[in-house]
Structure 1
Amino acid sequence: MAHTPDVDVVVVGAGFAGLYSTHRLRNILGLTVQAFDAGSGPGGTWYWNRYPGARCDIESAWYSYSFDEDLQREWRWSERFAGQAEILRYLEHVADRFDLRRSYRFDTRVTSAVWDDDLHHWTVGTDDGATTTARFIVSGAGNLNVAKENEFPGQETFRGEVYRTSAWPHEGVDLRGKRVGVIGTGATGIQLIPRVAEIADHVTVFQRTPNFACPLGNRPVEDAEFEEITSNYPELRRASRANYGGAPYPDPLPSALAVSEDERNAAYAKYYDGGGFRMLLSVFADVILDKRANDTASDYIRERIRARVTDPRTAELLCPTDHPYGTKRAPFETGYYESFNRDNVRLVDVRSAPIEAITPQGVRTAAAEYDLDVIILATGFDAFTGALLKLGYVGRHGQTLGDAWKHGPKTYLGIAAPGFPNLFTITGPQSPVALYNNPLAIEDHVEFAARAIEATRARHATTFEATADAAEEWGRMVVGVGDLTLLPLAPSSFYTGSNVPGKPRGMLFFAGGAPLYRAMCDQVEATGYGGFAIDDEPAPIPPMVLLDPAAAMVTGIMIGQEQRPFEDLGLDEQRAAFESFVHLQRPPRESVRTVETTYPGAGGPMKALVHVPAKAGPLPVVVFYHPGGWVGGSVGVSAEPCSVIAEELGAVVVTPSYRLAPEHPAPAAGDDVYAALRWAVEVAPEYGGDPAQLFVVGESAGGTLAACLGARVRDEGGPEISAQVLVYPAIDPAADTPSRRLYAAGPPITVAAMDAMWQAYLAEAAADRPASSVPGAIESVVGLPPTMLVTVELDPLRDEGEEFADRLAAAGVPVETARIDRLIHGSLNMSGLIGRTHEITDAIVGYLRRRVAQPDAQVLVND
């Protein structure tokens, strides 16, 4: 039974996430909000991390809120990359400008949050002994605010001072004349060490793992530059949200392996000095995907390190060799490597001689003891999960979050967890936050949470909860996308939890990028919060969450290119889009010889390709009709899959072009494919083919043509087709199926685009649904060729294809079907990015192999 709690929402944290949550929920939605923070004021991570050199490494103009136009213009950033103090002042300004402090209890740490199964609210306990009940909790606890436990014994015996960078004294630390030891050379240590070296008498740096650090390139922001940014903020913010990393960075070139060494090094040089995250995100797209490409970037950075460090031995110690560039959080530096040229800085390699203990005098390694006055721990964080697990969440049936996540986090979209209703974890584990500009990622999540709360209240419901199935699917997606990258290759990284002894290892963030993630969230909302249950009534998990991870990445590429919906493109743009699939494919099989020729089409000569395997004949003949929605596509787009069929089946594969709509509407294409079939029978022996073993394969629009061709051959007595394979064909423009409704918005093909292509193809005959062009209108399918029908799961055309197979089977036609799960329409032409494309060609080749008659003669045909 529901109960009226003290407040509508409890907000945890007063950083970027907490402040915006409080503003959005209280000031915009009018909800009652009680917020808590352990600090004495706003700032979040920027309140606590005050160590020398603390600075943001995303440009200040982008590392800021976008939700208020006036706020964007009125705050004048002084530096390209703002320091801690300036960011803290900015957040204090936001808190005051939107009157947020009055909703906060500062100096108050949340110690527990317990869900009441009967009253449907949370009881939040704090360290002052008070409790607050709330229908919802929005947690802005952050991902990098729980330091790793000190793994070195003896700290309590040290006679000097010990500081953690994440809890730096607000009054500062006087390091003048001190012997300082810094343990840790991650992003924090790399910022800290140059500043400490300028102050301390001597600095000993204890390094276990070197990092690939590039120059930050900080400088003052000139008035003219700032005015240009603020005057273009709307467009720059739009470009930011279309970018993988959430900042208006240039798109990368496709591959480091596709250019010369000089071109490659010039591209690296462009962004190495002061490019910030452009060095990772704007140089080459395959740097984080292909080890060979990554080696070129890693080698380049190592050479720059060697050039900056005077002592060769020290330089080599500073060069990472245990992980590819970008697989650990990419740090940026100002004078870091030059610090090791100073007389007062020593680098100690604790990989070869590990730290054994902190002693009363300093630090003892396996090789030596180092006397110190101050020890600074820059040893990293228990990232993503650490803060949430410390807050003491207890969900349904008394289950703690720690127990629920003992094998790793289980979330949906990184914002909610099954078993913990009404809890929103802003940029939580398994969200894209690690490689997504945090303020924009936070705004996206807060706005999602706010709309979800609105939707729940609008239904007079009291619970909003991720389903276990959705969390399972999301976990599969997070791991699958991560495995497509090089990220798992880093032996110690907070990206995978491998930096914390005993922590479960696994991908802790979604590496698919901001545009793809945002599109997924949009589809979740558009499907009535698919994957969530409101008052225990679940909505189906939306298609984009169910995608094969590689198909999801392809979809993300398309979204990141800001392509307009296909139905909104001009004809030339549509045709260019179809041709671009060539770039998503592997190269055609080298053993297959491809001959370009022409055939006598019904309207004149037409181009054709003949793919001939290096195999003795006579060989089966396969005529393959290409996809393209009858308005585009070409024989070149199908060259790679045709070469696979030719090699693996041992068949001559003929790929004819056909006339395209709208210049040549139906029946032009149908007449051409019939002419091409007759021509293929005539010329097949020239290539070692056996016309008695004639097969047809059609993909998408080509599958439509192939299905109608079978009926025409039957009715007109054309060449006998031994069998046909229809790959996700369009069967009927009038089809009304569950898959058409469920996947109406794609990806990548939409029902609106399909309807537009049908209209272009049928033109004035659209209302008549002529059987010569519409397989669903064929009056009788008795006597059609034996058929395999291949569909993919997440395709609007799936059900009409499978229904056509059922109709064929009912008419006595031998039929086999194969549904490839989690793939999308067009997958056959994405073999370079979707590894599971082979499942489609395996189905085609396996079926045709079963239908092929064994040849008597053996003639070598590919010389």
Structure 2
Amino acid sequence: MPLSSIAVQGTALRALYRLPHRIRRLIAGPPIRLDGQELALDAQLLLRARAMSGVPSLASGTPAKARHDLVAGSRMIAGTPIEPVDARDLSIGSIPARLYTPTGLAEGSPLLVFFHGGGFVLGNVDSHDNTCRFLAKHARVRVLSVDYRLAPEHPFPHGVEDALTAFKYAHTNAKQLGADPDAIAVGGDSAGGNLAAVVALVTTREGGPKPAFQLLIYPATDSTRDTRSKKLFAEGFFLTKDDMDWFMGHYAVNEQDKHDPRYSPLLAPDLSGLPPAYLATAGFDPLRDEGEAYAERLREAGVPVMLSRHADLIHGYANFLGIGTRFREAMFEAAGVLRSGLELKPSE
């Protein structure tokens, strides 16, 4: 899709959200209530706009086409670049990355190593550029966004290997990055949340260094079983069952891979000693229940964890920063908890 067409569609979508509440409700349709929850109007309007414009599903066609569509779509709904944030590209060996620094942030600040979502098949530093800018600005942290290798060209465990390499690089090179090596968090959304959880798990079991905090936004934690939320929200709420099957079919070399805790961290036999975590779920998300099950496992293992279900939201809200207000509200919470979690790191 030409950039001019994307810009026009983005302008039209943002104009839709500026209409009076009554008109937005008429366009979106009657409120959607399911599982004791009511979908936010902002989310329902986005789903309606996607349906009316014929936007393809996440897993549409080849991985190359789906990647193009995701980046194009992100330009429409992520909003204009959030400022004042300085961004520079760098390399972690062969892994591309981008470092975000809020203007004026002192040296020796906390750092978030961020892994983007996209089902291990889609996404890059560009698709999540504004998400990282938002977290950098509002949490007052540096953010190192990692462009890890994607399936099917690089299936499991290549993404895990890159994520571990990136965290270890950040810790070793903290001074050069302007960061405090004792205040490095890992985080991400969806597949990126999975990678963040796995990095925390693996580095803890290796004896460290390990992250100071985990920011897990609607993470995938168990690909071995169906859950109630996967059945309830299989269709019509942005991420579908077909999408998930397509993603997992590319990421897993074989079925046994899915039982590896580096793929499904909920299956890890021991979660004790992991860093404190903020785990956010969306009420209308197929991944809701496995995310909340992981939070419960962390809590049972004695790990400090804050679980926050945004009952009125859908999967993907971390990227919908340029439309409405409800998605940003959820991300303001994430930024606030991240900042507090890193500022309150245990003293030696």
Q: 1:669 is matched with which residue?
A: 159
Are residue 740 (structure 1) and residue 233 (structure 2) matched? Answer: no
Secondary structure of 1:648 counterpart: helix
Q: 2:19 is matched with which residue?
A: 486
CA contact (8 A) 1:759 1:766 kept: no
Secondary structure of 1:852 counterpart: helix
Note the C-alpha offset of 1:553. Answer: 2.0
Shift >6 Å, 4+ stretches: none
Q: Distance in 2 between matches of 1:612 and 1:509?
A: 37
Q: 1:581 is matched with which residue?
A: 74
Q: 2:12 is matched with which residue?
A: 285
Secondary structure of 2:274 counterpart: coil
Distance 1:711 1:588, change over 3 A: same
Secondary structure of 1:695 counterpart: strand
Secondary structure of 2:279 counterpart: strand
Q: Which amino acid aligns with 1:547?
A: L
Distance 1:766 1:746, change over 3 A: farther
Secondary structure of 2:79 counterpart: coil
Deviates more, 1:839-848 or 1:800-809: 839-848
Q: 1:494 is matched with which residue?
A: none
Are residue 610 (structure 1) and residue 143 (structure 2) matched? Answer: no
Distance 1:509 1:630, change over 3 A: closer
Are residue 636 (structure 1) and residue 169 (structure 2) matched? Answer: no
Q: 1:549 is matched with which residue?
A: 41
CA contact (8 A) 1:254 1:286 kept: no
Note the C-alpha offset of 1:768. Answer: 5.4
Secondary structure of 1:724 counterpart: strand
Q: 1:409 is matched with which residue?
A: none
Distance 1:766 1:792, change over 3 A: same
CA contact (8 A) 1:678 1:718 kept: no
Match of 1:709 among 183, 199, 218: 199
Structure 2 residues not aligned, in runs of 5+: none
CA contact (8 A) 1:818 1:843 kept: no
Q: Distance in 2 between matches of 1:849 and 1:823?
A: 23
Note the C-alpha offset of 1:852. Answer: 2.4
Match of 1:697 among 175, 179, 187: 187
Secondary structure of 2:289 counterpart: helix
Higher helix share: 2
Note the C-alpha offset of 1:563. Answer: 3.7
Q: 1:161 is matched with which residue?
A: none
TM-score of the pair, normalised by structure 2: 0.89
Q: Aligned Cα RMSD in Å?
A: 2.7
For residues 261-317 of structure 1, what are the alpha-carbon distances to aligned partners after superposition, in whole Å with 9 as ceiling and x for unaligned? Answer: xxxxxxxxxxxxxxxxxxxxxxx726954xxxxxxxxxxxxxxxxxxxxxxxxxxxx
Q: Distance in 1 between matches of 2:311 and 2:291?
A: 15
Note the C-alpha offset of 1:551. Answer: 1.4
Note the C-alpha offset of 1:556. Answer: 2.0
Are residue 627 (structure 1) and residue 160 (structure 2) matched? Answer: no
Q: Distance in 2 between matches of 1:508 and 1:285?
A: 15
For residues 752-771 of structure 1, what are the alpha-carbon distances to aligned partners after superposition, in whole Å with 9 as ceiling and x for unaligned? Answer: 21122122111225465212
Note the C-alpha offset of 1:255. Answer: 5.8
Note the C-alpha offset of 1:795. Answer: 0.5
CA contact (8 A) 1:582 1:829 kept: no
Greater relative contact order (Cα < 8 A, sep 6+): 2
Distance 1:255 1:596, change over 3 A: closer
Distance 1:675 1:253, change over 3 A: closer
CA contact (8 A) 1:827 1:834 kept: no
Note the C-alpha offset of 1:809. Answer: 0.3
Q: 1:810 is matched with which residue?
A: 300
Note the C-alpha offset of 1:555. Answer: 1.3
Note the C-alpha offset of 1:634. Answer: 0.5
Deviates more, 1:714-723 or 1:667-676: 714-723
Instruction: Give the number of the structure whose alpha-carbon radius of gyration is greater.
Output: 1
Structure 1 residues not aligned, in runs of 5+: 1-251, 259-283, 290-483, 489-506, 521-530, 532-539, 856-863
CA contact (8 A) 1:790 1:820 kept: yes
Are residue 590 (structure 1) and residue 83 (structure 2) matched? Answer: yes
Secondary structure of 2:112 counterpart: strand
Q: 2:147 is matched with which residue?
A: 657
For residues 774-828 of structure 1, what are the alpha-carbon distances to aligned partners after superposition, in whole Å with 9 as ceiling and x for unaligned? Answer: 1122121111111110111110111110111001101111111111131110011
CA contact (8 A) 2:321 2:328 kept: yes
Note the C-alpha offset of 1:638. Answer: 1.6
For residues 199-234 of structure 1, what are the alpha-carbon distances to aligned partners after superposition, in whole Å with 9 as ceiling and x for unaligned? Answer: xxxxxxxxxxxxxxxxxxxxxxxxxxxxxxxxxxxx
Note the C-alpha offset of 1:691. Answer: 1.0
Secondary structure of 1:658 counterpart: coil
Q: Distance in 1 between matches of 2:111 and 2:23?
A: 50
TM-score of the pair, normalised by structure 1: 0.37
Are residue 558 (structure 1) and residue 73 (structure 2) matched? Answer: no
Q: Distance in 2 between matches of 1:815 and 1:487?
A: 39
Distance 1:256 1:633, change over 3 A: closer
Note the C-alpha offset of 1:569. Answer: 2.5
For residues 505-537 of structure 1, what are the alpha-carbon distances to aligned partners after superposition, in whole Å with 9 as ceiling and x for unaligned? Answer: xx389542xxx65xx8xxxxxxxxxx9xxxxxx
Q: Distance in 1 between matches of 2:13 and 2:279?
A: 35
- Aligned 1:450-465 pairs, distance under 5 A: none
Q: Distance in 2 between matches of 1:288 and 1:648?
A: 25
Note the C-alpha offset of 1:257. Answer: 11
Name the % identity: 31
